[in-house]
C-alpha cells in the first residue's frame, strides 16, 4: 500500500505548472528574437516601450552575464529559476525531458506539422504576441526559425531559435502577453479550486454513503472469468466510401454466459490506434468479465494518418470530416454486428443497449454518438483569431476543435441537429474527452447515463475548460465526474508534466509503480457502470460511489467523484 500524501500538495503542483508555463512562454518569446539578423528587440507596452540589444540575450545564454538592458527581464524571473532558465535556453527541446519524443527535433516533421491547419492555427495565435518589426503577425518568421534551428547540427534549442530568426527587428506585444499570462493563471486557479472542492465534496459524499468495507470489494479488472478470443473484421460502408478495420474481443464460449452478452465499443483518440497496448489490455480484461468489446480504427484521424503527414503523404494531421465520420463509424459497426448476431454470435449479443468508451477525440466521438450536439456559435467565438484573449479561448484543445469550422454547411448541420445520435447507446464512459465544442447546451441533449474522467494536470484537454463544462451541461440524472490527481492526457504526458513540475521528487517513480493498479481500477469502474446501466445489475452499485474510489484509489493517482457541480464552481 502506498501512503504518500500528494493530495495535499496538489495546489503547489498546479502553481509549479504555472511557473513552468510562464518560463516556457518567456523562453518562447526570447528565443524568437533575432541576433544576427537584427540588433534590437522591441518590448512594446501600449505607448511605452523598451529596446534591448539582441546580443545581450545571447551573452546571458552563454555565460549567465546579465547586461543592464536585459536586467529588468531576467530579474522578473525568481532567482532560484534563473539558472534553470539559462540551461533551458541552451538545451535542445527533445532533451529537456525523457518523455519528449525525438521527432520534436526533426526539421522535416516539424515543417509538415507547422504547415498543417493545426500548426497554422497555433502559429497565428503565437504570432499575435511575437510580431515583426513592422507590427505584423510573426507567424511565418517563427515557423522559419523553428525549422532552420531544427536543421542546425546544434539542434532545436531556444538559443538556436534565436540565432536563426530570419527577420529584422522583433516586437513583443507585452500588453497581450500579460493578458495571456493572467488568463492562464485564472484557468489554473480554476483547476486548483476544482481539485480542492472535488476532494472535499467526494470525501463528504463518501462519509454519507452506506457503511460498507469498500476496500474489500473485488478489483474486477484483475479477474479473468472467461478465456478471451480476438476476431478481426473489415467493414465497408459504401455510402461513405469508407473501409476500416475492427477488432473484437469476446469470451471464447458465449454459451457459458448467462443472459445476453453486453457490447462495449471503444473509440481511440486522435493520432492513436485500436491496437494501442493499454487499450487492448483493458479490452481483454472487459472481455474476460463477459463483455464483447469492439474496437474500430478511425482511419481519418489515427496513427497511420498522422504518420502520413509526417512523411509528406498528406497535408493535415487529420481529416476535418472525422467529426462526422467517427460517430458514423460506430453506427455502421453496430449495424454490422446486428447483421452478424444470429449467424456469427448465436444471437447472444445485446445490441439495443450498448456501452461506449472513448479517450480524447474518442471521448468526443462517444458523446456525439450518445446525442451531444456542437454549439457552433460558441465554437466560432472561441476560434476567432482576432478575438480578445479570454479564459475560454486559451485552450490547447481548440487547435483540434476549431478544425470543425472547415466543414461544409451540410456536415455542420449533422453536428448541430442531433442526427449523429444512435438510439442504441445505453451508457457512455468518456476519458479526458475533447468536449468543449459541445458547450453546456449541446451536452444537455444526452439522455443516457454518462461518466466523465479528467486529469488534474491535463494540458492537452484541460479539465476545467473541457470536462467540467461538459459535465455541467448534462441533464441526465445518472452522471459521474471522476477527477484524477497528478494525471495528464496520457501516461507518457503525465510523466513529462510531473518531471517538469516536480523535478526533485519521486512522484514519477511512484506513478510507474501505481500504473497497473490504476488501470485495473478504471476497468473495474467501466465494468461496474456497464453492469448497472446495461444489465440493470444493482449488485455493482457500490462501485459507483465516492466511498469506493476514496477507499481503493491510491496516491499519487487518487480519484475523487462528483455527482453534481457545487455552487462554488
352 or 20, greater pLDDT: 352
**Predicted pLDDT of residue 42:** 82
Average pLDDT, the chain: 88
**Residue 299 scores a pLDDT above 90:** yes
Domain shared by 414 and 284, yes or no: yes
**Predicted pLDDT of residue 27:** 44
Q: Which helix (H) or strand (E) holds 562?
A: strand 559-562
Domain shared by 444 and 501, yes or no: yes
* CA atoms in the 13 A half-sphere facing the CB of 434: 22
Domain shared by 230 and 351, yes or no: yes
Q: Do the domain assignments include residue 200?
A: no
DSSP-based three-state secondary structure for 554: coil
202: Cβ contacts below 8 Å, ≥ 6 apart: 483, 546, 549, 550, 560, 561, 562
**In the numeric block, which cell numbers belong to residue 133?**
518589426
Domain shared by 309 and 451, yes or no: yes
**Residue 442 scores a pLDDT above 60:** yes
403: Cβ contacts below 8 Å, ≥ 6 apart: 117, 118, 121, 318, 320, 323
Closest CA to 525 of 281, 218, 224, 265: 218
546 or 11, greater pLDDT: 546
Domain shared by 282 and 419, yes or no: yes
**In the numeric block, which cell numbers belong to residue 12?**
503547489
DSSP-based three-state secondary structure for 437: helix
Closest CA to 396 of 119, 96, 28: 119
**Predicted pLDDT of residue 209:** 85
Closest CA to 485 of 98, 13, 99, 16: 13
Closest CA to 39 of 49, 25, 51: 51
- Does a cis peptide bond (omega within 30 degrees of 0) precede residue 556? yes
DSSP-based three-state secondary structure for 106: coil
* CA atoms in the 13 A half-sphere facing the CB of 199: 18
Q: Do the domain assignments include residue 193?
A: no
State pLDDT tens for residues 420-435.
999 999 999 999 999 9
Domain shared by 169 and 215, yes or no: no
Domain shared by 318 and 435, yes or no: yes
Pairing of strands 261-267, 349-359: parallel
Domain shared by 412 and 505, yes or no: yes
Closest CA to 32 of 177, 159, 150: 159
* Cα separation, 147 vs 546, whole angstroms: 49
**Predicted pLDDT of residue 18:** 40
Which of 34-38, 41-45, 50-54, 320-324 has the highest average model confidence (pLDDT)?
A: 320-324
Decide which of 129, 154, 175 is a domain's last residue: 175
Distances (CA, A) of 183 to 70, 173, 186, 357, 392: 26, 16, 5, 32, 9
Which of 5-14, 305-314, 430-439 has the highest average model confidence (pLDDT)?
A: 430-439
DSSP-based three-state secondary structure for 53: strand
349: Cβ contacts below 8 Å, ≥ 6 apart: 260, 261, 263, 292, 337, 341
pLDDT classification of 4: cutoffs 50, 70, 90: very low
**Residue 2 scores a pLDDT above 60:** no
Least confident residue range of 12-16, 286-290, 324-328: 12-16
121 or 88, greater pLDDT: 121
- For 314-383, the three-class secondary structure string (H helix, E strand, C coil) is CCCCCCCCHHHHHHHHHHHHHHHHHHHHHHHCCCCEEEEEEEEEEECHHHHHHHHHCCCCCCHHHHHHHH
State pLDDT tens for residues 268-278.
999 999 999 99
Q: Which helix (H) or strand (E) holds 182?
A: helix 174-208
CB atoms under 10 Å from CB of 172, counted, come to 24
What's the distance, Cα to Cα, between the start and end of the chain in Å?
33
**Predicted pLDDT of residue 54:** 74
275: Cβ contacts below 8 Å, ≥ 6 apart: 247
pLDDT classification of 55: cutoffs 50, 70, 90: confident
Contact 559, 483 (CB under 8 A): yes
Least confident residue range of 93-102, 153-162, 304-313: 93-102
345: Cβ contacts below 8 Å, ≥ 6 apart: 250, 254, 261, 292, 337
Q: Do the domain assignments include residue 204?
A: no
Look up the domain containing 152 and give its range. 7-175
Decide which of 151, 175, 199 is a domain's last residue: 175
State pLDDT tens for residues 156-190.
888 888 778 787 777 888 899 899 999 989 988 98
Mean pLDDT of 220-237: 93
pLDDT classification of 231: cutoffs 50, 70, 90: very high
Contact 540, 494 (CB under 8 A): no
Q: Which helix (H) or strand (E) holds 531?
A: helix 507-535
**Which CATH number do you get for residue 499?**
3.40.50.1820
Closest CA to 400 of 334, 318, 324, 339: 318
State pLDDT tens for residues 359-405.
999 999 999 999 999 999 999 999 999 899 998 889 999 999 999 99
Domain shared by 220 and 266, yes or no: yes
Domain shared by 136 and 229, yes or no: no
> What is the value of pTM for the model shown?
0.89
Q: Do the domain assignments include residue 215?
A: yes
State pLDDT tens for residues 464-488.
999 999 999 999 999 999 999 999 9
CA 404 from centre of chain: 17
**Predicted pLDDT of residue 513:** 81
Q: What is the number of domains present in the chain? A: 2
* Cα separation, 219 vs 236, whole angstroms: 38
Q: Do the domain assignments include residue 119?
A: yes
Across 228-321, the runs of DSSP E, i.e. the strands, are 228-237, 242-251, 261-267, 292-296
Mean pLDDT of 97-106: 75
Calculate Rg over the CA atoms of the chain. Answer: 25
- What residues pair up with 272 in beta bridges, in sequence order? 302
Closest CA to 69 of 85, 82, 56, 59: 56
Contact 560, 198 (CB under 8 A): yes
Mean pLDDT of 497-516: 79
Task: Give the DSSP per-residue string, 464-492.
Answer: TTTHHHHHHH---SSEEEEEETT--SSHH
* Cα separation, 439 vs 374, whole angstroms: 7
Domain shared by 216 and 160, yes or no: no
**Predicted pLDDT of residue 439:** 94
Mean pLDDT of 133-145: 89
Q: Do the domain assignments include residue 510?
A: yes
State pLDDT tens for residues 526-550.
999 999 999 999 999 999 999 999 9
Contact 137, 415 (CB under 8 A): no
Domain shared by 388 and 331, yes or no: yes
CB atoms under 10 Å from CB of 306, counted, come to 20
Mean pLDDT of 91-114: 82
State pLDDT tens for residues 20-42.
443 444 344 444 444 345 567 78
Q: Do the domain assignments include residue 187?
A: no
pLDDT classification of 221: cutoffs 50, 70, 90: confident
421: Cβ contacts below 8 Å, ≥ 6 apart: 368, 369, 370, 371, 445
Sheet containing 40-45: give its strands across. 48-53, 40-45, 170-173, 130-132
Decide which of 175, 195, 225 is a domain's last residue: 175
Mean pLDDT of 39-67: 82
Q: Do the domain assignments include residue 196?
A: no
DSSP-based three-state secondary structure for 494: helix
Amino acid at each position: 500500500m502506498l501512503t504518500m500524501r500528494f493530495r495535499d500538495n496538489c495546489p503547489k503542483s498546479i502553481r509549479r505548472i504555472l511557473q513552468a508555463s510562464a518560463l516556457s512562454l518567456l523562453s518562447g518569446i526570447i528565443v524568437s528574437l533575432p541576433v544576427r539578423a537584427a540588433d534590437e528587440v522591441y518590448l512594446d507596452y501600449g505607448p511605452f516601450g523598451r529596446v534591448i540589444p539582441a546580443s545581450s540575450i545571447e551573452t546571458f545564454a552563454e555565460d549567465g552575464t546579465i547586461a543592464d538592458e536585459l536586467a529588468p527581464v531576467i530579474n522578473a524571473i525568481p532567482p532560484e529559476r534563473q539558472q534553470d532558465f539559462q540551461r533551458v535556453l541552451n538545451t535542445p527541446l527533445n532533451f529537456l525531458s525523457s518523455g519528449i519524443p525525438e521527432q520534436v527535433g526533426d526539421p522535416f516533421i516539424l515543417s509538415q506539422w507547422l504547415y498543417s491547419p493545426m500548426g497554422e492555427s497555433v502559429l497565428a495565435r503565437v504570432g499575435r504576441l511575437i510580431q515583426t518589426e513592422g507590427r505584423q503577425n510573426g507567424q511565418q518568421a517563427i515557423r522559419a526559425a523553428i525549422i532552420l534551428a531544427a536543421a542546425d547540427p546544434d539542434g532545436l534549442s531556444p538559443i538556436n531559435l534565436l540565432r536563426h530568426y530570419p527577420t529584422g527587428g522583433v516586437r513583443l506585444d507585452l500588453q497581450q502577453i500579460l493578458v495571456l499570462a493572467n488568463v492562464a493563471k485564472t484557468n489554473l486557479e480554476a483547476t486548483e479550486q476544482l481539485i480542492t472542492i472535488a476532494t472535499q465534496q467526494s470525501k463528504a459524499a463518501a462519509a454519507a454513503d452506506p457503511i460498507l468495507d469498500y476496500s474489500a470489494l473485488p478489483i474486477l479488472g484483475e479477474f479473468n472469468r472467461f478465456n478471451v478470443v480476438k476476431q478481426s473484421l473489415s467493414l465497408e460502408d459504401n455510402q461513405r466510401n469508407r473501409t476500416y478495420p475492427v477488432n473484437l474481443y469476446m469470451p471464447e464460449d458465449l454459451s457459458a454466459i448467462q443472459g445476453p452478452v453486453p457490447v462495449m465499443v471503444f473509440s481511440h483518440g486522435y493520432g492513436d490506434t485500436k491496437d494501442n497496448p493499454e487499450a487492448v489490455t483493458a479490452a481483454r480484461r472487459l472481455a474476460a468479465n463477459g463483455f464483447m468489446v469492439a474496437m474500430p480504427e478511425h482511419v481519418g484521424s489515427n496513427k497511420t494518418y498522422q504518420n502520413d503527414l509526417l512523411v509528406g503523404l498528406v497535408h493535415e494531421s487529420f481529416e476535418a470530416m472525422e467529426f462526422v465520420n467517427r460517430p458514423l463509424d460506430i453506427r455502421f459497426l453496430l449495424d454490422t454486428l446486428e447483421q452478424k448476431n444470429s449467424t456469427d454470435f448465436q444471437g447472444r449479443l445485446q445490441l439495443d443497449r450498448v456501452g461506449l468508451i472513448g479517450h480524447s477525440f474518442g471521448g468526443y466521438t462517444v458523446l456525439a454518438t450518445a446525442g451531444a450536439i456542437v454549439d457552433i456559435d460558441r465554437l466560432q467565438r472561441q476560434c476567432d483569431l482576432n478575438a480578445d484573449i479570454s479564459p475560454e479561448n486559451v485552450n490547447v484543445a481548440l487547435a483540434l476543435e476549431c478544425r470543425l469550422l472547415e466543414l461544409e454547411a451540410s456536415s455542420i448541420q449533422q453536428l448541430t441537429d442531433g442526427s449523429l445520435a444512435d438510439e442504441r447507446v445505453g451508457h457512455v464512459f468518456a476519458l479526458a474527452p475533447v468536449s468543449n465544442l459541445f458547450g453546456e447546451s449541446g451536452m444537455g441533449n444526452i439522455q443516457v447515463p454518462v461518466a466523465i474522467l479528467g486529469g488534474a494536470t491535463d494540458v492537452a484537454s484541460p479539465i476545467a475548460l473541457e470536462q467540467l463544462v461538459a459535465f455541467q451541461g448534462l441533464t441526465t440524472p445518472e452522471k459521474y465526474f471522476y477527477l484524477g490527481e497528478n494525471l495528464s492526457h496520457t501516461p507518457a504526458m503525465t510523466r513529462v508534466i510531473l518531471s517538469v513540475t516536480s523535478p526533485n521528487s519521486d512522484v514519477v517513480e511512484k506513478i510507474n509503480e501505481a500504473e497497473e493498479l490504476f488501470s485495473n481500477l478504471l476497468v473495474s469502474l467501466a465494468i461496474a457502470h456497464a453492469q448497472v446501466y446495461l444489465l440493470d445489475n444493482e449488485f455493482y452499485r457500490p462501485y459507483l460511489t465516492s466511498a469506493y474510489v476514496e477507499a481503493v484509489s491510491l496516491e499519487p493517482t487518487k480519484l475523487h467523484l462528483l455527482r453534481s457541480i457545487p455552487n462554488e464552481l
